[in-house]
Amino acid sequence: MGMQMGFRWYGEGNDSIKLSDIKQIPGVTSIVWALHNKMPGEVWQEEEIAEVQKALAPYGFNMDVVESVNVHDDIKIGLPSRDGYIANYIQTIRNLAKFGVKVICYNFMPVFDWTRTDLFHPVGDGSTALYYEADKIHDDPKEMASYILNNMHGLTFPGWEPERMAKLDELFEAYRPVTKEKLWENLKYFLEQLMPVCHECDIKMAIHMDDPPWDIFGLPRLLVDAESVDRFLAMVDDPYNCLTLCSGSLNANPENNVADIVRRHCDRIAFAHIRNVKHFPNGDFSEASHRDCDGDTGIVEIIKAYHDGGFDGYIRPDHGRHLWGEGPGNVRPGYGLYDRALGIMYMWGIWDMLDRLDAAK
Interacting residue ranges for ligand DNO, rule: CB under 6 A = 67-68, 105-107, 113-114, 158, 208, 246, 273, 318
Q: Taking CB within 5 to 8 Å according to partner kind, which of Mn ion, ligand DNO, none is near residue 215?
A: none
CA dist 230 and 317 (Å) reads: 24
Mask for 66-95, x = binds Mn ion (CB under 5 A): ------------------------------
273 binds Mn ion, rule: CB under 5 A: yes
Return the residues of window 238-267 that contact Mn ion according to CB under 5 A. 246
Q: Taking CB within 5 to 8 Å according to partner kind, which of Mn ion, ligand DNO, none is near residue 68?
A: ligand DNO
Question: Using an 8 Å Cβ cutoff, are 348 and 7 in contact?
Answer: no
Closest listed residue to residue 195, CA positions, set 229, 221, 246, 233: 233
Q: What is the DSSP letter of 42?
A: P
Dihedral angle, C-alpha 174, 178, 182, 184, nearest 10 °: 90
Q: How far is the CB of 246 from Mn ion (least distance, A)?
A: 3
Q: Taking CB within 5 to 8 Å according to partner kind, which of ligand DNO, Mn ion, none is near residue 105?
A: ligand DNO
Q: How far is the CB of 30 from Mn ion (least distance, A)?
A: 15
Residue 233, CB-side half-sphere exposure with 13 Å CA sphere: 21
Between 268 and 340, CB nearer to ligand DNO:
340
Between 22 and 246, CB nearer to Mn ion:
246
Q: Taking CB within 5 to 8 Å according to partner kind, which of ligand DNO, Mn ion, none is near residue 114?
A: ligand DNO
Between 198 and 246, CB nearer to Mn ion:
246
Helix (H, G, I), strand (E, B) or coil at 112: coil
Between 40 and 298, CB nearer to ligand DNO:
40
CA dist 356 and 338 (Å) reads: 27
Partner residues linked to 65 by β-bridges: 103
In sequence order, what DSSP letters do the residues of 161-192 get, joined into one string?
-HHHHHTHHHHHHHHTT--HHHHHHHHHHHHH
Dihedral angle, C-alpha 119, 145, 17, 290, nearest 10 °: 40
Between 243 and 350, CB nearer to ligand DNO:
243
Between 233 and 354, CB nearer to ligand DNO:
233
Q: How far is the CB of 249 from Mn ion (least distance, A)?
A: 5
Q: Using CB under 5 A, which of the segments 31-39, 88-96, 272-280, 331-339 binds Mn ion?
A: 272-280
Q: Taking CB within 5 to 8 Å according to partner kind, which of Mn ion, ligand DNO, none is near residue 111?
A: none
Q: How far is the CB of 14 from ligand DNO (least distance, A)?
A: 15
Q: How far is the CB of 353 from ligand DNO (least distance, A)?
A: 26
Q: Taking CB within 5 to 8 Å according to partner kind, which of ligand DNO, Mn ion, none is near residue 158?
A: ligand DNO
Question: Using an 8 Å Cβ cutoff, are 149 and 165 in contact?
Answer: yes
- 4-8/28-32 β-pairing: parallel
Burial of 138 (0-12, 13-18, 19+ CB in 10 A): middle
Q: How far is the CB of 158 from ligand DNO (least distance, A)?
A: 5
Sign of CA dihedral 105, 109, 112, 115: negative
Return the residues of window 315-344 that contact Mn ion according to CB under 5 A. 318
Q: Taking CB within 5 to 8 Å according to partner kind, which of ligand DNO, Mn ion, none is near residue 351?
A: none
Between 70 and 257, CB nearer to ligand DNO:
70
CA dist 137 and 133 (Å) reads: 7
Q: Residues 157, 219, 120, CA angle at the centre, nearest 5°? A: 30
Q: How far is the CB of 315 from ligand DNO (least distance, A)?
A: 13
Q: How far is the CB of 287 from Mn ion (least distance, A)?
A: 11
Q: How far is the CB of 41 from Mn ion (least distance, A)?
A: 23
CA dist 285 and 137 (Å) reads: 13
Question: Using an 8 Å Cβ cutoff, are 208 and 106 in contact?
Answer: yes
Write out the residues near Mn ion by the rule CB under 5 A.
246, 273, 318
